[in-house]
Amino acid sequence: MQCNVCEFGCEIDEYSRGRCGTYVCAGDTIVQDPGMGYLGAYPVSIETIPLLHYYPSGKFLQVFGTGCNFQCSGCVARLLASDKPLSRSTLIPSQVVERALQQDCLGVVSTLNEPAANYYLFRDLAVQAKEQGLLAGCSTNCYFTEETLNKLGQLVDFMNVGIKGYSDKSYISCGVPSSAPVFRNISRLFDMGVHVETSVVYSWGNETDVIKVAEMVSDISPTIPVQVMRFIPFGDAPIELEPSVGEAESLCADLRKYVDYVYLFNSPGTELLNTYCPECGSLLTEREFYGPMGSRPVRPWVTYACDCGKTVSVKGTTTVERFNEEGFMGGYRISRAFGMVHGVLTCLGILDDSRLIDVWREISDSGTLMQVHHMIQQPYAYLDFVRLIAEKANMPEKGEELISFIRTRLELVKALAAKNSNHKVYYCMGSPLFALNAGRMENNLVTFSGDVSINKQLRKEGKPGVNVSPFFINEHNPDTIFISGFLSRPLDEFYALCREYGIHADAVKQQRIYAVPPSWDFGSPRWILGLMYIADKLNPGNSGIDLRKEADEFYLQFYGMPFEEATPNRSFHRPTSGIWPRHFLRCTHA
Ligand code: SF4
């Protein structure tokens, strides 16, 4: 029988469950695999889905399952996308709705994995949510057939459509023949009155394609917001595909010629998460970076009209009392928690994705996730995190091996710290004006090295940090600045920004700004290398640390490859982009 959910039109029979692997035949109909349910349900604010012109600051229950009909390189949620239905306990729609009501959410939203792979499940969820007066929506690649879309459009209130690009080539790289059904569907949803926002990935070299997307969206309606997702290379994607924040900002300026509202994500410190009046350019509301694909309003957006008379198209009312997510919660941030567990499992030699899902299930209750969130912020507490994961994975000896490696190096840096001269250090992410939270691991690495983190003076918190003024940096005058290894910035762009913002701290004058290597300071056990990197930079010429030798030992012992052969990207668990590991037939992603 042919599945009619999406344009692939797979044949489903006793041997085939379709491309997304989540459907089966039951007599003469196709149904959702009975093992299918939602793997998680957490309250989040709508700007983390992200939707920026819909019930601003509203609290929604985010749900996710497994399966996807696309296969995109570098997918942030690849593990969820690639996994098959779970023969484990999951949430059914009625339980999700109950949770949404209990937690005072405005509605439910399916994210992270593709709802086309969970269509019947999602349809039931939307129906039951609406019966209870809740809103329902999703993030989707929108490759549905016309027939499915017409039905779905009557059930959902809002959608964020993730567009891969304009050209068929951009879709072919996800194993999909054409972009045409996606634009057809956006147009139809808009006509049906569904609130639609679009997101498009900008990876280095696809500028023309992104501009063409803006033109196509504009043809449907220039009022549809276009969210530009600066590509962060996870999975096997090479780091060369990552555009700098500066390059992404410049592309956004071009897109504004076509559509009224362009937003830039994955770019800490950017002003392009704000809403500006399309008529006169006045600032209407401010937002800041809030983790991958996420944003947060700096203050409630209550007036949707500009002084010049122009009204911004926003659906729904603003929730004035902002909801703050705990720990890892908030849109795609949960996928980073997955990445952190994956990072440890890889070092324990576990490369089977299904073991990750098993371990995840054991720690995914909100209480344990909160404990984990604390463990990963302090060097010694991280050892408890390794022990926890090793125990859940039934690999205690391998866990102790990793702990022993880290502990030995911690002692080494501790000895150095005792004779340190208390340098003042500032730690930022992507921009000089985006400061990492005081309690973050990166700042704790600085204090562990015996130095003073000026970030500890911050009186506010975000995820993973907050926008600060140049005054804050100049006032505290750091001797050294580190740029996070997760979201970075080329040094020439960084120095130029310091000049532009009037940042004249000693670190800038003495050229003591360093970009920490990818994933060497947070999320992956490789932070121990980052700690040694920091200690080495703060004790120039006399740290006694041979960083290359240490990195080589770590990579050989825990990844089975020499450091010099690695071409890292932003993945927490993979030591290198491209094909890895060579001695295993199965390639892991995420
Ligand atoms: S939803 Fe899945 S099974 Fe159905 S046509 Fe699409 S890829 Fe194939």
Residue with tokens 């634009």: 183
Tokens of 289: 């970076």
Radius of gyration, alpha carbons of the chain: 24
Between the CA of 215 and the centroid of ligand 1 the distance, in Å, is: 29
* pLDDT exceeds 60 at position 128: yes
Query: 49-106: per-residue pLDDT in tens?
Result: 999 999 999 999 999 988 899 988 767 666 666 655 454 568 999 999 999 999 999 9
CA 372 to chain centre: 18
Give the per-residue pLDDT at 387: 97
* pLDDT exceeds 50 at position 584: no
Q: Which atom of ligand 1 is nearest to the CA of 116?
A: 1
Kindly write down the DSSP assignment for every residue of 341-403, as one continuous string. HHHHHHHTT---HHHHHHHHHHH-SHHHHHHHHHHTTSHHHHHHHHHHHHHHTT-HHHHHHHH
Residue with tokens 């009392």: 321
CB 467 within 8 A of CB 269: yes
CB 371 within 8 A of CB 326: no
CB 191 within 8 A of CB 220: no
The alpha helices in 275-365, defined as continuous H runs, are 333-347, 353-363
Question: Binning pLDDT at 50, 70 and 90, where does residue 34 land?
Answer: confident
How far apart are alpha carbons 28 and 539 in whole angstroms?
A: 72
Mean pLDDT computed over every residue of the chain: 92
The alpha helices in 113-244, defined as continuous H runs, are 119-131, 146-155, 168-172, 180-192, 207-220
Query: 487-519: per-residue pLDDT in tens?
Result: 989 999 999 999 999 999 999 999 999 999 998
How far apart are alpha carbons 472 and 382 in whole angstroms?
A: 30
Q: Whose CA is closest to atom 2 on ligand 1?
A: 20
Which residues does a 6 A CB cutoff place in the pocket of ligand 1? 3, 5-6, 8-10, 18-20, 23, 69, 116-117
Query: 300-309: per-residue pLDDT in tens?
Result: 998 999 999 9
- Look at the pTM and tell me if it is higher than 0.85: yes
Q: What are phi and psi of 200, to 5 degrees?
A: -135, 135
Question: Binning pLDDT at 50, 70 and 90, where does residue 361 land?
Answer: confident
* pLDDT exceeds 70 at position 587: no
Give the per-residue pLDDT at 72: 84
How far apart are alpha carbons 393 and 247 in whole angstroms?
A: 42
Q: Whose CA is closest to atom 6 on ligand 1?
A: 6
Query: 414-427: per-residue pLDDT in tens?
Result: 999 877 678 899 99
Give the per-residue pLDDT at 238: 93
Q: Whose CA is closest to atom 5 on ligand 1?
A: 9
Give the residues across from 195 on adjacent strands. Answer: 158
* pLDDT exceeds 60 at position 250: yes
C-alpha dist (Å) from residue 463 to 41, 272, 281, 436: 20, 17, 28, 8
CB 249 within 8 A of CB 222: no
Interval 126-146 mean pLDDT = 98
Mutate to test the pocket of ligand 1, among 1, 2, 3 (most ligand atoms within 8 A of CB): 3
Between the CA of 519 and the centroid of ligand 1 the distance, in Å, is: 35
Question: Binning pLDDT at 50, 70 and 90, where does residue 322 land?
Answer: confident
Query: 148-193: per-residue pLDDT in tens?
Result: 999 999 999 999 999 999 999 999 989 999 999 999 999 999 999 9
Interval 219-242 mean pLDDT = 94
* pLDDT exceeds 60 at position 588: no
CA 427 to chain centre: 20
Tokens of 5: 């959910």
Mutate to test the pocket of ligand 1, among 2, 7, 10, 12 (most ligand atoms within 8 A of CB): 10
Give the per-residue pLDDT at 36: 87
